[in-house]
Structure formats: structure tokens, C-alpha cells
Amino acid sequence: MRMNEKDSCHTHERKSHHSEETKRNLTSRLNRIEGQIRGVKGLIEKDTYCDDVLNQISAVQSALNSVSKILLEGHLRSCVTERLQAGETEVVDELLITMKKMMK
């Protein structure tokens, strides 16, 4: 890992440092979700039965939750761990706020 990548979580210009494999995985998942969203829009335009549309929306939400879980795990294992090791305990408060938003 290059030095600027390792330090990127706790600089003023914070960036993630996901592996290329993780980025491809997340991008692929988000592309599928984007297609699902277009599909839901199409169902609504075609006056599809509400229960069928709601089931598709539930599938989209589940897919987004999966993306969030992958990002959260990576964040905990890298950014949060590194910042705690550097003595930046405010990262815990930041993480708690984010998790509260995720659990709405």
C-alpha cells in the first residue's frame, strides 16, 4: 500500500482505499441496482400491480443494503482501525452517526 493511500482515511481530503477487486465488485452491484431501479420505473409506467412493484423495490433495498455492508466492513477494517490506532477517537462518534442514518 502506498503511503498516501494508507494515510488517506485521516487526512483533510479523506478518501477510501479499496482494492481494485472491491471497486469492481461494488461497481458491478451498483450497475445491477441501477438496472433494477429502471425496471421499477418501467413497472410503474406500465401500471403494474402495486404488490409486484413493492416486491421489486424490496429487492433493490436489499441489494443496496448488501453494498452498504461491504463498505461498512471495509471502513471498519481500514479507516476506523487506522484512525483509532492514530489516537483519533472521534472516528467512533462519526461511525455511530453514520450507522444511525443507515438504520433508519
Q: Model confidence over 5-63: pLDDT tens digits?
A: 444 454 457 777 788 999 999 999 999 999 999 999 999 999 999 999 999 999 999 99
Unique residue bearing C-alpha cell 403494474: 48
Q: Rounded to an integer, what distance in angstroms lies between the CA atom of residue 52 and that of residue 43?
A: 8
12 is a domain residue: no
Query: CB 82: neighbour CB atoms within 10 A?
Result: 17
Total domain count for the chain? Answer: 1
Q: What is the pLDDT of residue 10?
A: 47
Q: Domain for residue 2, yes or no?
A: no
- For residue 3, being part of any structural domain is answered with no
56-74 pLDDT, tens digit per residue, is 999 999 999 999 999 999 9
CATH number of the CATH domain containing 94: 1.20.58.1000
Q: Which domain holds residue 75?
A: 20-102
Q: Evaluate whether residue 6 is within a structural domain.
A: no
| CA pseudo-torsion sign 89, 72, 37, 57 | negative
Model confidence, pTM:
0.80
Query: Is 13 a member of any domain?
Result: no
